[in-house]
């Protein structure tokens, strides 16, 4: 069974940093691009970032470019999101998902990031 | 950025009836369109991709149609478990993905 399990969420300071992780199992992790999508409380879905299967190319939404860094460790089947210079608007549930030809399937259960001053 | 607009924001339908949800793109996305279902407190799950192909395990009562800028998700013979929020997502411009704002399908 394909599973994705996020961790690392919690309370982050305004202007501070957090690092999210996503542990993958049940599929050949190194063969797939991976992505992060976030959902602010009571709001819709926003794509955040994507990393290619080898980790050699990364892409970001304009809202996080220059502040967030996506990476992966294929030896550990783990995806990461380093979040720096946190803003109020970064408060959201962050989901990781396996990307395949543009579609996201499956998704992890999500981890909540709350930015507070 | 391609803007995705879903309508209506909320749709009230009785169990057993058919629900029709719409998604419009600000420019053509060909058939690069997916639909997701999100139940309260859960992660989204893939329903439809390529505008009309059901994902693995998705019942036949879910169907997608459209191409270009106009898309429809139809759910026939609504079951209690179908009442949720539905999102469309375009992936025509890789990887600058965008989602619609969602349609909440509620019990009438």
Percent residues over pLDDT 90 in chain B: 96
Q: What is the DSSP string of B12-45?
A: EE-TTS-EEEEEEESS--TT-EEEEEE-TTS--E
Smallest Cβ–Cβ distance between B98 and the set A47, A105, A108 belongs to: A47
The pLDDT-based confidence of A117 (bands split at 50, 70, 90) is confident
Average pLDDT in the A19-45 region?
97
Smallest Cβ–Cβ distance between B94 and the set A95, A102, A110 belongs to: A102
The pLDDT-based confidence of B74 (bands split at 50, 70, 90) is very high
The pLDDT assigned to A29 comes to 98
Average pLDDT in the B64-93 region?
97
User: 3-class DSSP state for residue A12?
Assistant: strand
**Pairing, β A10-13 against β A111-116:** parallel
Segment B88-102, tens digit of pLDDT:
999 999 889 999 999
Contact B2, B90 (CB under 8 A): yes
The pLDDT assigned to B94 comes to 85
Percent residues over pLDDT 70 in chain B: 100
* Nearest CA-CA distance, residue B22 and chain A, Å: 16
The pLDDT-based confidence of B68 (bands split at 50, 70, 90) is very high
The tokens describing B64, both together, are 């997608």
**Does the structure show a pLDDT above 90 at A34?**
yes
Instruction: Collect all residues of chain A within an 8 Å Cβ-Cβ radius of residue B44.
Output: 37, 45, 95, 104, 107
DSSP assigned state of B80: G
Task: State whether A105 and B45 contact (CB < 8 Å).
Answer: yes
Average pLDDT in the A55-80 region?
97
The pLDDT assigned to B95 comes to 87
- Which residue in chain B is spatially nearest to A106 when comparing CA positions? B45
Average pLDDT in the B22-34 region?
98
Please, what's the largest Cα pairwise distance for chain A?
Answer: 40
- Averaged pLDDT score across all residues of chain B: 97
Q: Does B97 touch chain A (CB under 8 A)?
A: yes
The pLDDT-based confidence of B11 (bands split at 50, 70, 90) is very high
Average pLDDT in the B44-54 region?
98
In terms of Cα–Cα distance, which of A114, A18, A38, A70 is closest to B43? A38
Q: Does B34 touch chain A (CB under 8 A)?
A: yes
């Amino acid at each position: 069974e394909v599973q994705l399990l996020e961790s690392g969420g919690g309370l982050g300071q305004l202007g501070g940093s957090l690092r999210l992780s996503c542990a993958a199992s049940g599929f050949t992790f190194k063969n797939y691009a991976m992505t992060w999508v976030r959902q602010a409380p009571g709001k819709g879905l926003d794509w955040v970032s994507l990393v290619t299967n080898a980790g050699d190319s990364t892409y970001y939404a304009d809202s996080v470019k220059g502040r967030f860094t996506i990476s992966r460790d294929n030896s550990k089947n783990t995806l990461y999101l380093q979040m720096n210079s946190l803003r109020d608007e970064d408060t959201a549930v962050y989901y990781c998902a396996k990307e395949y030809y543009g579609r996201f399937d499956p998704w992890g259960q999500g981890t909540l990031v709350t930015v507070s001053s | 950025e391609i803007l995705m607009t879903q309508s209506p924001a909320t749709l009230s339908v009785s169990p057993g009836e058919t629900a029709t949800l719409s998604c419009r793109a600000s420019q053509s996305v060909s058939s690069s369109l997916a639909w997701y279902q999100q139940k309260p407190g859960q992660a989204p799950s893939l329903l439809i991709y390529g505008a009309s192909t059901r994902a693995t395990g998705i019942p036949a009562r879910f169907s997608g149609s459209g191409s270009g800028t106009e898309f429809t998700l139809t759910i026939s013979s609504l079951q209690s478990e179908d009442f949720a929020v539905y999102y469309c997502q375009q992936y025509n411009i890789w990887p600058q993905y965008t989602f619609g704002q969602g349609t909440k399908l509620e019990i009438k």
